[in-house]
Amino acid sequence: MVQAQRFARRENYIDALGRVRLVLREVDEAIEAASGEERASLERFKARAERRAAQIREAFDAWNAKIAARRQTWTDSADEEMKRPLPLGPGEHI
């Protein structure tokens, strides 16, 4: 879980979500083998991991939307940019 948090802090959401999925898979396997108080403890941990995964996913979606909006701005302004003259005239070289 700590690795997932560190990945998310660096905006490496894909790896963060992958780590959380790995933790959840291991916890599910441990729950199947556990009984009694240990099982209850593992289920509480699983609930906490699922909440963390939802938080990371929410941050990832917001980050992705921000990038999509920036990309759309560039696309929308492409026509205007293409109409501007090039900085160098024909036949001019650097």
pLDDT of the residue at 82: 82
Q: For residue 88, give the DSSP letter.
A: S
Q: For residue 86, give the DSSP letter.
A: P
Tell me if 87 is assigned to some domain: no
Tell me if 46 is assigned to some domain: yes
Tell me if 85 is assigned to some domain: no
Tell me if 8 is assigned to some domain: yes
Tell me if 81 is assigned to some domain: no
Average pLDDT over the chain, rounded to an integer? 89
With contact defined as beta carbons under 8 Å apart, do 54 and 20 qualify?
no
Tell me if 91 is assigned to some domain: no
Torsion sign over Cα 33, 34, 40, 41: negative
Tokens of 27: 């916890």
pTM recorded for the entire structure = 0.71
- Counting the structural domains of the chain, the total is 1
Tell me if 45 is assigned to some domain: yes
- With a cut of 80, say whether residue 85 has pLDDT above it: no
**Residue 91 C-beta-side C-alpha neighbours within 13 Å:** 0
Q: Which residue segment(s) compose the domain that 72 sits in?
A: 2-76
Tell me if 24 is assigned to some domain: yes
Average pLDDT over residues 57-81: 91
